[in-house]
Amino acid sequence: MPTVYIPPALRDLTGGVETVEGKGQTVRAVLVDLEPRYPGLTAKLCIDDALRPGLMVAVSGTMSRQGLRTPVPANAEVHFLPALGGG
């Protein structure tokens, strides 16, 4: 089952827990699975059915530009990170 790393700023929603497991084959599905257990998590990460501006998701170490549609393989790690650019 995919492991979701909860950003430190949102760990008050998970009782201080750093990682939680959620079922699903996309980031969206994983968040849907987590929401009943951790109410408010989706609202903190998403707005208008998309990741909040300035956020990106990384799945198993690879940043994705597909947002909530990003495929999540079984046993993957999911991280929510600030979006990055470059010079």
Partner 1 sequence: MATGEKRKYKVIGTRPLRHDGVDKLTGRAQYGADIRLTGMLHGVVLRSPHAHAKIKSIDTSAAAALPGVRAICTSADFPDQVGRIVELGEGAVNMRHLSANVMAHDKALYKGHAVAAVAADSIHIAEEAAKLIKIDYEPLPPVMEVLGAMRDDAPLLNDDVRMTEMGTVKPETKPSNVAAKFLFTKGDVTAGFAKADIIIEREFRTATVHQGYIEPHNATVLWNADGKVTVWMSTQGTFTARQQTAELVGIAVSDVKVVPMEIGGGFGGKISVYLPPVAAILSRKSGKPVQIQMERAAVFEATGPTPGSFMRVKVGATRDGKIVAGEAWIAFEAGAFPGSPIAPGCMCVFSCYDIPDARVEGYDVCVNKPRSNAYRAPGSTQVAFAMETVVDEICEKLGVDAAEFRIKNGAKEGTRRVDGPVYHRIGMIETVEAIRDSEHYQSKLTGPNRGRGIATGFWFNAGLKSAVVATVNLDGTVSLIEGSTDIGGSRTGIAMQLAETLGIAAEAVKPQVADTDSIGYTDVTGGSRVTFATGIAAVEAAKEIQKQMVERAALLWEVDSASVKYEDGKVIGPAEKSFSFAELAAKIHEVGGAVIGHGTSSSAEQGGAFGTHCVDVEVDPDTGKVQILRYTIAQDAGTAIHPSYVEGQMQGGVVQGIGWALNEEYFYDDKGVMRNATFLDYRIPTCYDVPMIETIIVEVPDPAHPYGVRGVGEVPICPPPAAIANAIHAAVGVRMRDLPMSPPKVCAAVMQKK
Cβ(53)–Cβ(45) below 8 Å? no
Give the residue with the Cβ less far from partner 1, 73 or 87: 87
**N- to C-terminal Cα separation, the chain:** 37
- Per CB under 8 A, which of residues 44..83 are in contact with partner 1? 44-45, 47, 52-55, 58, 60-66, 77, 79-83
Does residue 7 belong to the site contacting partner 1 (CB under 8 A)?
yes
Please provide the size of the chain in residues: 87
Give the residue with the Cβ less far from partner 1, 6 or 24: 6
36, 37, 38, 34: which is closest to 68 by C-alpha? Answer: 34
Which residues lie near partner 1 (CB under 8 A)? 5, 7-10, 18, 44-45, 47, 52-55, 58, 60-66, 77, 79-87
